[in-house]
Amino acid sequence: MRSEPLLCGLAQSEDDRPEPVLRAGNTNCGGCGMSIALNMFSRAIGRRRVQMVIPACCGIVTAGAYPFSAYGAPVVASTFASAAAVASGLARVARMNGEPTRVVAWAGDGGTYDIGMATVSAAAERNEDVLFVCYDNEIYGNTGGQRSSATPAGATTTTTPRGKELEKKDIVGILAAHRVPYCATVSLAHPEDALRKFQYALDAPGFRFLHVLSPCPTGWKSEPAEGIELVRLAIRAGLFPVYEVFDGFRTVINVEPELSPTALERYFALQGRFRKNAVDLGRIQEMIERNWKHLRARARDA
């Protein structure tokens, strides 16, 4: 049975899954970036056999309650910190049995940047045959919007009522420093690039890490329909660099930013989380330029 094309009008092919990974009946909010990412990922999976591990986060709540599940793939709902370790166990069993199963950990920023950090780092160091995808909505969305170490400077959350002062962690830098085979950021506004990366990361052996900027209309206090536009603005402004790192060294920039102050201004203006407290855009612009100088140096040296 053929379903309607799911992804930005990209052509349907015979290789598509008969049903998406995230099926109808899921409980995600309208405009959830994770839903869009899962739909792209579903297209990328095609006929590959996958097993997913999803820790405590919106990504598992969306499955709905037992005995139903909105996931059209086998999923293990793991404890919050454990996605990469449970995935390691599944991947080892698949390997020792000579099975082509691709094991995927799918976690939010809490389960990656914070409580999952040690587990992710250890699985990366062991170069487990696991694809770890972080859908980063820059907030503890499932618990109602508390700050994480992925929350950007300037954002108001329920635990940073006066706005967060500190910048978010460079998660791809951290994972790339483990010298894993593949790390990349994924833009929901660039579906061809996203699809290519999902497919490459599914097939590459060893530990792969993908970082998806995932708009959260509920937490960002933004319009559900503007999620893709927000990602596009973040990329134009240079806030979210789109790049990939092979083996921890070879760095390739995939989308050139405009470093546009107008885009930056608009990115902040469209989100309620930045409106409550005054944000010094000049400081953020400096941070962006500093980050890009560093990233370009890495891309040039590689």
Partner 1 sequence: MTVELLSANHAAARAAALAGRANRAGRGFGGGVYPITPQTECIELLCRQEFEKGEIVRVESEHSAMAVCMGVSLGGARAFTASSSNGLAYMAENVVSAALYRLPIVMMAVNRTLGPPWNIWVDHGDTLMLRDAGWIQFYCEDNQEVADTILLAYRLAEDARVLLPVMVCQDAFVLSHTMMLTDLPSQEEVDAFLPPLELPHAVGGKPVTVGGLDFPHETEVHRREHHEAMLRVPAVYGEIQDEFERRFGRRPADRVEAYRMDDAEAVFVSMGTTASTAKAVVDAARERGVKAGSLRVRMFRPFPEDLLATWLRGRERVAVLDRDLCPGLGGVLWSEVRGVCPGSLVQNYMLGLGGGDIRPEHLEQVLDDLLARAAAGEPRIVEVG
Residues engaged in binding partner 1 (CB under 8 A): 49, 51, 53, 60-61, 63-67, 69, 71-79, 81-82, 85-97, 101, 118-119, 121-122, 126
Residue 158 main-chain phi, psi, to 5 deg: -65, -20
185: CB partners within 8 A, 6+ apart:
172, 210, 211, 212, 213, 240, 241, 242, 243, 244
Q: Give the tokens for residue 159.
A: 């635990």
What is the nearest approach in angstroms of partner 1 to the Cβ of residue 75?
A: 4
Q: Is the Cβ of residue 178 or residue 197 nearer to partner 1 in the bound state?
A: 178
The angle formed by the CA atoms of residues 219, 223 and 227, to the nearest 5 degrees, is: 80
User: For strand 75-78 and strand 50-55, is the pairing parallel, antiparallel, or unpaired?
Assistant: parallel
Whether 205 and 181 have beta carbons less than 8 Å apart is answered as yes
What is the nearest approach in angstroms of partner 1 to the Cβ of residue 175?
A: 15
What is the nearest approach in angstroms of partner 1 to the Cβ of residue 43?
A: 17
CA distance 231 to 187: 7
Half-sphere exposure at residue 160, Cβ-oriented, CA atoms within 13 angstroms: 24
β-bridge mates for residue 135, sequence order: 108, 212
What is the nearest approach in angstroms of partner 1 to the Cβ of residue 275?
A: 34
Q: Is the Cβ of residue 118 or residue 252 nearer to partner 1 in the bound state?
A: 118
Whether 202 and 186 have beta carbons less than 8 Å apart is answered as no
Q: Is the Cβ of residue 77 or residue 245 nearer to partner 1 in the bound state?
A: 77
Q: Is the Cβ of residue 26 or residue 156 nearer to partner 1 in the bound state?
A: 26
Whether 226 and 242 have beta carbons less than 8 Å apart is answered as no
Q: Is the Cβ of residue 76 or residue 186 nearer to partner 1 in the bound state?
A: 76
Q: Is the Cβ of residue 127 or residue 277 nearer to partner 1 in the bound state?
A: 127
What is the nearest approach in angstroms of partner 1 to the Cβ of residue 88?
A: 5
What is the nearest approach in angstroms of partner 1 to the Cβ of residue 218?
A: 19
CA distance 107 to 58: 9
